[in-house]
Structure 1
Amino acid sequence: MTFKTRLLLFAASGALAMPAWADEGSKEAETDAEAEAVEATEAQKPAAEIFSTGMAKGRDRLDSATSTSSLKGDDIQRFGPRPLGDVLRTMAGLRVATGIGEGNNNYTVRGLPLAAGGSKYMQFQEDGLPVLEFGDLFNVATDVYLRNDFTVNAIETIRGGSASTFASNSPGGIVNIISRTGEQEGGRVQVTAGLDFDEKRIDFDYGAKLGENTRMYVGGFYRQGEGPRDIGFTGWRGGQIKANITRTFEGGYVRAYFKLLDDRSPTFAPYAVNITGTNDNPIIRSFPGFDLRRDSTLSGFLGPVITLDRNNQPVALPIATGQSAKSKSVGFEAQFDLGGWTITEKMRYAVNGGDFSRMFPNRQNTVTAFANAIGGPGSSAAYASGPLAGQPIADGALINGNGLLSLYFVSFVRAKSLDNFTNDLRASKVWEVGGGKLTTTGGLYLATQELDTTWLHTAMIVDANGGGETAQVDIFNAAGDPQTLNGYFAFGRESSLFRRIFDVDYRVLAPYGSVNFHIGKLAVGASLRYDSGRVRGQLFGADLGGGRVGLTSFDFNQDGVIVPAEARTAFLPLDRPAPVNYDYGYLNYSMGVNYRVAEPFSIFARYSRGGRAAADKVLFTPTVDPLTGNVPSGDQQDTVIQYEGGFKLRRGGITVNGTVFKVEAEDQNVLNGAANATNRTYEAEGVELEGNIVRGPFSLMLAATYTQAKITEDRLNAALTGNEPRHQPDWVFVAVPQVDLGKFAAGANIVTITSSYAQDSNNLRMPGFTTVGAFAEFQPAENLQLTVSAQNLFNTLGIFEVNQGSVPANGIGFARAANGRTVQASLRLAF
């Protein structure tokens, strides 16, 4: 309470204590003083920030024992059209490794491991329901079906807390993309063009009233272009459209919505990089002729992807496929009061599919050394595609300025069905109990998730040529006999691994409930959820074990001669399926306490235990019984335990939130066979800090996350016990300064990550780096806006991933980096 408020209240009290015979003027002064006192007291109260994701009911963040963050859609759009992963990198507490493309990026929180990509421990939602039930399905992680455009009204994230009890498979937290619903009437059209890269894009949205209590909204985008890297073809093409209609009534609303997504974008991989120096202080540089920030192995001179299809018939698939995501969804949402209870119903059915291709490296060397490794001493190489097709490559030739050849595997995943249905029904009621308010909530969650995908592969030998001009290369032994076929090293992998069909259905049923008692400054709450699942299906695969064989020979060019490449053809043993047949169940619970010390300040503490059910990462492993399809109870889910406590302050344009945490987690994440299995426990401790300052036209958002993580037990490789997990920096810093002068606005987003280990062996340490995004916005007229925005403004070489565990003796490695600088201009018309 300020001195002015105390003074006013004192004056009011004095006036009330005056004798009854006070004159009429004194009474007027008394009334004025009371009014001023009320106004001053109200001014002291911070404006409520209602947050609803991962909670029973929306409530002010100062009254909630959770760690949460939010970002408004208008603030997101100021920095220009960009992938969702780049947006989430600027949110407090999240660890995001981008550079892969529009989707399939890596997300985690609080030191939880990034063992196999995607988002294993955090659930991605759209309007409160999961996009996919499991966030780390191989090659089709959740974010391939999400896009950042005008339709995004806000992004809310909850880390730990009650996330594990108000959503399934989300023990680490929830990211919720909240759509606009037409509250603001009018529309916008925006055209965007890349200034130093090839992309053209149009965004639009429109909201309107259809009656006194009915409104509608529609929005979306379309784009095409080569994209932020030189790939030699149109890699980005497509878009999405979302629409909804809402009818409000006293005490509630009903809403119907739909979404159509059909969008293609390339997938980027680790590429050739020069690594020298020491493990503690490596020097990582691009090779001549191949800029790790701008170039890609993708090229119009490659492909097609020749292999055997799902029915073991030859097929040629386009190399340009990339992430070709397709999704059609319809949903229904309602909220109404019934007998003092607030009933909320959310339902969505989504038809998800598409083709997903990517290239990933196996090995690399100089021309002579590489050729000899394939064909033996005295082997030679010649171009198999591109403008130099048929021309031999001289021994020791420094082609493209780097003299390198590489073996890349091309993964082509055909998602026949990732369809899902989700329904979340809950009821809440507030009771007056003992001078306080008791909020009770009960709910039932039902979901189905199909997984019908086919994994196809081929293998190519390519050079390291930038500018979208990578070409395939043939290898000949000393006798001149071809070891490859038109640049194809194999029509599969070197072994029969990864020729697979997944045909599995998941059903999830989860009753849940919570209680929260709020009296005075104190709020105490607890929640629980029981996740039960039914998993049924079958697998077909060349690497199922048990005597199954998946290698054969196939005469692809039909010349009657089988060359070594054709002898390395993978096929599917369709007559030998393996069953998947098991049920699971586990309890999640969370309890917390929040104390509102003063109007603008609160403290909280929470304990949570949640699980993540096993999905495709345990399939095709010894974990699944090959005869019965059963999975032992101890391998059916991974458990995450979190302890957290913190404070929240919001006063006078300043917001500061701080949380200390400790996490204990399990991870069984088998992917590449027994040699690369993961069966571990982890522990992490750290601090999350987030603040926002607003002073007139200036604002500044700051965030810092400190994490210390370790592998507490590795059950398959004891030598790794006690090591630090790979890709886990000690610090992540975010700063977003902005100035808004009305007709002109400008800002930046600055993200810094410190160094981290490339692999769990803890030898090679990847250097930390800082990327800067920026925008400048000008309004020449009331409804017209011009924006110039940039990502990675200073063209930083930021390394997210290095394949090698130590500095290679020959200095040749593979690394995945952030995209280089991209600058774009947008012109927006509002109406």
Structure 2
Amino acid sequence: MKTCLLVSAAVLAITTPAFAQNADPSPTGDAAPAKRDVAEKEVFSTGVAKGRDRLDSATSTSALKGDDIQTLGARSLAEILRNIPGIRTESSTGEGNSNYTIRGLPLASGGSKYMQLEEDGLPVLEFGDIFNVASDIFIRADFNLSAVEAIRGGSASTFASNSPGGVINLISKTGDVEGGAVQVSTGLDYGEHRLDFDYGAKLSDTVRFHFGGFYRVGEGPRATGFDAYRGGQIKFNVTKQFANGFIRVYGKYLDDRSPQYMPVPVKITGTNDKPVFSSFPNFDIGKDSTLSRYNPGLTTLDGANQPYHDPISSGLHAMVKSVGLEAQFEVAGWSISNRARYSDISGSTLRDQPFSIDTASAMATAIGGAGATLSYASGPNAGQRITNPATLNGNGLVGNMLMPEVKVHSLNNFTNDLRANRSWKVGRGNLTVTGGVYKALQTINTDWLYTNVLQSFSGDGNSTLIDVTNAAGTPVTQDGFVAYDLNVTPGTYRRKFDVDYDITAPYGSVNYHIGKIAIGASVRYDMGKVRGQVFGSELGGGRIGLTSYDFNNDGKISIAEGKTAILPLTRPAPVHYDYNYLSYSTGINFRIAEPLAVWARYSRGARASADKILFTSAVSPADGSMPVSSDGYDTVKQTEIGVKFRKSGVNLNVTGFLADTTDHNVQGGTGLQVLRDYRAYGVELEGSFRRGPFRLTAGTTYTHAELVKDYLVSAVNGNTPRHQPKFIFQATPEFETRHFTVGFNVVGNTSSYAQDTNLLKMPGYTVVNTFLQIRPVERVQLMVNVNNLFDQVGFFEVTQASVPASGIGWGRSVNGRTISSALRFSF
């Protein structure tokens, strides 16, 4: 890291004295201008060699402006990104740990494996799908946000590492537009109170700044029984403008807690092709959660094998302290830019998820044997026997629940991207050459902790823990805890990671633009070194995974305390392997006329495998080597062909795509190891229209995806991957005048399969969100947003592979209707 910092400083020392032009061409540039005619030329700069008018670029790109994002009233980053064509999000997990993918690329696990989430041109985490700690946990959208740029496929493979599917870049305001705003908002039918603010101004003719942030507190859109949202963020930047470029320093402090919503009980009847999903009594699948004020949280041994407790209210806890530097200068005809950032990242992710759900009496027998009885372990009735389990909470259900927590000691990372480009007149055209070196250091230092409890299901955050006593009168559980371990597979998945990733990636491109034709090619070579150690009983060699511990200090070891997970700290397994892979992309763009262009592109990119392969046969537990070098990364090969049209307020982009993908993974929710080949093809449409006060933006993506070959479970070969609909779509019509803006936002998808076996279908759904902004006087705005206006039930995850005979299942639906209001003052 010190070497990279010195390189960054040297670049600045070389470039700062030579001043030539007056510009700030930074792709992280500037506050979004006011809403404009969509026919206006816009330069797109994310994931490409150099910012160009989109009609001159052989790429598929989109952008959302900050003002438009505020209008949508999205409650999370995932809800913002679902408005970008081609991007599929499973967005009702809460503020973070949502699932993202692009154009049918596989989504076997959580996070965003093939898509890179960036903030101001650099990745938030080098790997977007680290187990249970995805990138979106550590990034927030607030008034600092100028725009969101997204590139799908194309040159994303060569202008960023680990991003063969695409790049999404959150771009901050930089103070070029003076002024700011303060906004207070609240949930009208749910608990959340939030303050947002930002301000930017010039300190002199050549120095400007911007800062902003937010703070919030409240229960959130689902009932938990406590303030599940607590925290906020502060960001700032200062830009010094020179005659030939600029230098910018920036920083961020994020300390925020939010809940992660896991699958809840759902009644499933009907047939696999036409299932009927409904709520059980006293538990609404759209508004309730497994979280509860009567759940004390996680109790187990920590990564040092010491007693540890974390309250359930900790949820997703993100701690980020980052500082960065960005510079760009024109030197002797070359445009030289450098971005560098160091992020200190820690926190934890604690959730409450079902392993199984059954009737209370059946669960008592399963845990305690015939004749077992139940009693309340927490809540106002703690200690009382449950005399009629069938009527418990009006639904008679009890869940065997897992409470996993990933304790994040460090996801610290340093990233530096040095780039230079220049254009020459060659013949009748212009030749542009770009070269750069990308350097990244990423630490993964985490502990996997698990506890197993029994829990009832009661709405409004009133679920309680449940105790079981066997027929002989012996308690089988302790204070609701079945085990201080993952009892369903004792002694496993109790893991500790302490691994560092060192990535170096030189890259370059050439582009020749002559008349109406632009031809370009780019290449990138990623070289990675992975060093460290991991701990876990599954690694063999006599490693232990279970012990006993007296958690309640009563001098006795209960049945539950005898099932305590422990790490074999004296028996680490080394991690010591290298990988390298080549990415390339080539494309051609033909500007047929001023408003019309056609283009084509072929790309091969890859994504390095991170923590998901460390407890598999891909990495030797004896010496940390990787016997098969190709296990170190997964490839994505893509073919794209498109048409772009832009004229007089009309904008239309149509892209056909074909992608072949390999995937080494661990399937989210099941722990199932995955080794597969996928294929996806389809068509992506994006359009916008504006006439006077009316504006419409819309998009839809058709995808045919196939699980071509599963090397471990051949029975699913040829099936459609789970959670993959044929169509995803979004549309936002709005009407804007000086004094008000009104409109609605529609998002949805067609049906998809719950699991790879392709039996149970999750029906398609459409969610309608509405917004109204009123500006009674200058600089004052009142806003009301209604998310899920019609209280639609829409499942994006169901655990069951077919309709269960008992009718008891569990899954995740979109959040039910929520209404918020806001008052904003601009100055």
Whether TM-score is above 0.5 comes out as yes
Instruction: State the match for 1:829 in structure 2.
Output: 825
CA contact (8 A) 1:653 1:693 kept: yes
Are 1:53 and 2:31 matched, yes or no?
Answer: no
CA distance in 2, matches of 1:53, 1:304: 42
Instruction: State the match for 1:740 in structure 2.
Output: 736
CA distance in 2, matches of 1:321, 1:297: 14
CA contact (8 A) 2:182 2:198 kept: yes
Are 1:792 and 2:788 matched, yes or no?
Answer: yes
Instruction: State the match for 1:27 in structure 2.
Output: none
Shift of 1:296: 1.0
Q: Of 762, 765, 772, which aligns to 2:761?
A: 765
Deviates more, 1:420-429 or 1:71-80: 71-80
Q: Of 540, 546, 549, which aligns to 1:551?
A: 546
CA distance in 1, matches of 2:395, 2:464: 14
SS in 1 for 2:79: helix
Shift of 1:779: 0.7
CA distance in 2, matches of 1:750, 1:799: 16
- The verdict on how the C-alpha distance between 1:369 and 1:792 changes in structure 2, with shifts beyond 3 A counting, is same
CA distance in 1, matches of 2:670, 2:779: 60
Q: Of 382, 393, 397, which aligns to 1:389?
A: 382
After TM superposition, the structure 1 = structure 2 runs for residues 59-98 of structure 1, keeping only pairs within 5 Å, are 59-80=52-73, 82-98=75-91
Instruction: State the match for 1:453 in structure 2.
Output: 446
Q: Of 237, 248, 251, which aligns to 1:258?
A: 251
Shift of 1:251: 2.6
Instruction: State the match for 1:17 in structure 2.
Output: none
CA contact (8 A) 1:79 1:790 kept: no
Instruction: State the match for 2:515 in structure 1.
Output: 520
CA distance in 1, matches of 2:334, 2:652: 34
Specify every segment of 5 or more residues in structure 1 that has no aligned partner in the other structure, as ranges: 1-43
Instruction: State the match for 1:174 in structure 2.
Output: 167
CA contact (8 A) 1:45 1:600 kept: no
CA distance in 2, matches of 1:797, 1:821: 10
TM-score (norm 1): 0.94
Percent sequence identity is 55
Deviation string 1:437-462 (CA, Å, 9 cap, x unpaired) is: 00000000000000001111111100
CA contact (8 A) 1:46 1:599 kept: no
Q: Which amino acid aligns with 1:347?
A: A
Instruction: State the match for 1:608 in structure 2.
Output: 603
Q: Of 117, 122, 137, which aligns to 1:124?
A: 117
After TM superposition, the structure 1 = structure 2 runs for residues 529-540 of structure 1, keeping only pairs within 5 Å, are 529-540=524-535
Deviation string 1:287-342 (CA, Å, 9 cap, x unpaired) is: 11100111111111111311011221112211110011000111111111111110
CA contact (8 A) 2:190 2:220 kept: yes
CA contact (8 A) 2:110 2:668 kept: no
Shift of 1:546: 3.4
Deviates more, 1:72-81 or 1:186-195: 72-81
After TM superposition, the structure 1 = structure 2 runs for residues 774-789 of structure 1, keeping only pairs within 5 Å, are 774-789=770-785
Instruction: State the match for 2:18 in structure 1.
Output: none
CA distance in 2, matches of 1:646, 1:676: 37
Instruction: State the match for 1:507 in structure 2.
Output: 502
Q: Which amino acid aligns with 1:712?
A: V
Are 1:472 and 2:465 matched, yes or no?
Answer: yes
Are 1:292 and 2:285 matched, yes or no?
Answer: yes
CA distance in 1, matches of 2:117, 2:684: 21
SS in 2 for 1:780: coil
Instruction: State the match for 1:621 in structure 2.
Output: 616
CA distance in 2, matches of 1:811, 1:174: 41
Deviates more, 1:267-276 or 1:46-55: 46-55
Shift of 1:80: 2.9
SS in 1 for 2:586: strand
CA contact (8 A) 1:621 1:673 kept: no
Instruction: State the match for 2:675 in structure 1.
Output: 679
CA distance in 2, matches of 1:674, 1:80: 33
After TM superposition, the structure 1 = structure 2 runs for residues 580-729 of structure 1, keeping only pairs within 5 Å, are 580-631=575-626, 632-670=628-666, 676-729=672-725
After TM superposition, the structure 1 = structure 2 runs for residues 204-603 of structure 1, keeping only pairs within 5 Å, are 204-494=197-487, 495-603=490-598
Deviation string 1:75-112 (CA, Å, 9 cap, x unpaired) is: 00113362110011111110011111100000001111
CA distance in 2, matches of 1:256, 1:396: 61
SS in 2 for 1:291: coil
Shift of 1:544: 2.1
CA distance in 2, matches of 1:512, 1:736: 38
Instruction: State the match for 2:750 in structure 1.
Output: 754
CA distance in 1, matches of 2:200, 2:356: 53
Shift of 1:547: 2.7
Instruction: State the match for 1:804 in structure 2.
Output: 800
Aligned length: 788
Q: Which amino acid aligns with 1:477?
A: N
Instruction: State the match for 2:17 in structure 1.
Output: none
Shift of 1:585: 0.4
The structure having more radius of gyration, on CA atoms, is: 1
Instruction: State the match for 2:194 in structure 1.
Output: 201
Deviation string 1:198-219 (CA, Å, 9 cap, x unpaired) is: 1110000001011111111001
Deviation string 1:511-552 (CA, Å, 9 cap, x unpaired) is: 000000000000000000000000000001133233322011
CA distance in 2, matches of 1:300, 1:511: 52
CA distance in 2, matches of 1:499, 1:673: 15
Deviation string 1:789-831 (CA, Å, 9 cap, x unpaired) is: 1211211111110001000000001101111111111000111
Deviation string 1:128-174 (CA, Å, 9 cap, x unpaired) is: 10000000011110000111111110000000000000000000000
SS in 2 for 1:335: strand
Q: Which amino acid aligns with 1:623?
A: A
CA contact (8 A) 1:367 1:395 kept: no
CA contact (8 A) 2:86 2:684 kept: yes
CA distance in 2, matches of 1:695, 1:624: 59
- The verdict on how the C-alpha distance between 1:45 and 1:258 changes in structure 2, with shifts beyond 3 A counting, is closer
Deviation string 1:708-749 (CA, Å, 9 cap, x unpaired) is: 000111100111110100000000111100110111111111
SS in 2 for 1:374: helix
SS in 2 for 1:74: helix
Shift of 1:398: 1.5
Shift of 1:559: 2.6
Instruction: State the match for 1:106 in structure 2.
Output: 99
Q: Which amino acid aligns with 1:720?
A: V
Shift of 1:395: 4.6
Deviation string 1:376-427 (CA, Å, 9 cap, x unpaired) is: 1111111110011111112542211110000111011111110000000000
CA distance in 1, matches of 2:777, 2:234: 28
CA contact (8 A) 2:598 2:644 kept: yes
TM-score (norm 2): 0.94
CA distance in 1, matches of 2:297, 2:83: 38
Instruction: State the match for 2:815 in structure 1.
Output: 819
CA distance in 2, matches of 1:304, 1:689: 46
CA distance in 2, matches of 1:488, 1:396: 19
SS in 2 for 1:399: helix
CA contact (8 A) 1:607 1:644 kept: yes
RMSD of the alignment, in Å?
A: 1.3
CA distance in 1, matches of 2:509, 2:330: 19
